[in-house]
Chains A and B, each alone.
Chain A
């Protein structure tokens, strides 16, 4: 890969803190150091509530770090990250727009003529396998189909960076695999820098070039960074059978397991205290 390309996303000692209702300060993420190269697929895995999404929101510019710096293509990030497309965990489609209008909107707000925006949107709907569903409203689509529309909605703007927050979390296991393969297929065709948050280690290894592990919060840190050298193109369900996959999984899981247990203990303590 071309090494002259600047780093797409660089978090330098980024600390994120929230002020709680009782004026205490809760540090979600502490001194996170993370970089995503141009065209690299990085997955962040961590126990529930460790601040993975927080980190993603920092990269998106939706949250400002309390300390540390965020650089996007070597430029300090101010305001929203205009180079990034964001695929949310929850339903984020505009429910009052049809699927095709949901996809076309990204171009329309940039001032593209409507006819052209619709034509391109139709193209993107076709490439996510929903060519015939353009006139459906989100509530008429299944969860997986809505995610496809969401993917098309983000990709039509051709962002250089793709931020994904457990995008396939709410889907069933089969649909997740299908969506994972679709994502890889689209990503292979046009390599963007991807920051993919998930709590599913298998999904992370199957998709990514690098897997980053976060510790349990509060004050979550990045505690591990593994390269995934499984050959591409990959098929999500087949890659899981490979020996290398299992070895990597065992290695990462031995680190992750402790954090998951810690996170679990903390959340049950919090539940008891309240």
Chain B
């Protein structure tokens, strides 16, 4: 670089005279001698703790566990930054009144991080309202908020995330990530970016390399509207007067205690809308805060949209249903003798018993295999148990794996028992079976916990319990029926008793699920936020499909009840069970597919093209997405 710089009074000066050089031999970041004030961190003082009572000094917060002047080893560089505030929690400040939506922040970020068009650590969307010419658009630029309570870190099963005592940065290591995308589910701000091509997540790194040499992040330094700023959290930037925690379109900060503050003084219309396809708008409440409400963008017409039931999460539809079916069938089989369900218990002596156990094992393996293949990097599947301390996904995985081990053990010992009728073998079988039952219950519980996500209000309801456990009963009963009824027919067994028990079991499952869904719908009808929006989509875009599922579920429950209570002859019972099986399978597959496609996260508003699900879908449908510069990943086959 030229050694002379020109100051704005037009005089040529030597650079060395005006500014000292900050960097060391191996610079963490190439800080130029003439960087402008807007690009430099300038916090002099900071508060002791933030508004949530969390200490801002992170050495303090770590209770001495984190040493001072520790190197961050950015790209294995042992240099230690000279930023005097490096152990304080930092955060972005966004003056919403000023953002012009010029994309400079997003561009600077993507340029620095080398991101392809379909990935962006920072995105600008907007809300708008009013009537011409009294019209207001408010652009919102949003990246990672490096939260006090990083739900991504807690949710990640691989422990790819670290919250650092330096700057409080929540950083993610793509080399650890196996691409399950769970962090993208739990984050309310859509900060982690799952790249379906790379098969892994990456995210905002707070530009800690720039911070180490006293410079603000690239996005902030690039801002052309003087909207984005950065510094020690709870500090009011120069020329600003507010440090709000919310603006219209921003999710409830109580979910994660995000380290972002806002200024938004200019008055906004009482209602602002989103230009993207999400059926959500924001209405000003009595407290002056904007709350999400349903925006009936597509009217009230109901549709089937069967094709749209298929999503990226199809493997999870199969995984959850298969797991629940296998667990339900096995637990019933295992507990039947204790519960006095002789019609089921009798099956153990049949030649189909071991094949059935193997079938359950295969069913569970198939589900697990699909869910593993659904990972961005399936070969890293073993990392799924790395975060048992926090992640429900890790625990779910462990539970299911342990269930399979127990089931395998049980099967093995039962098989051994066929030849060696040692009491010890049977005890071992019972121990393995008991272990499988306990593991399965744990796995199921955490499977449910994995969906109780605050940033996904449609899921965050207790009906997930009734549905998941209900499915164990209903699908479990049907799996049992598939083996037990033919065997009973061949052996002249207690068909009537068996049908009564299986009918009752199916009824319990379907009724529980139905009751949960009924209460869920009631809750969604009164919930105005993203949950309500999901329900709106459920009742319109998928309205007919939704009605079909509900009808099937109700009819199935009724039929199961009839089978459980009314004395019917064998032919009627078998055909009744077959019909029940068909109806239940349809209802549950549709229901589970809906469960995944309907969820609307609390994410930030998108723009007309960028971060607009509706446009992304359209671009894929018409082939526009095949051009990489469109920034939409095409259908991956």
Q: State whether these chains interact.
A: no
B-side residues, CB < 8 A to A, are none
- Interface, chain A (partner B; CB < 8 A): none
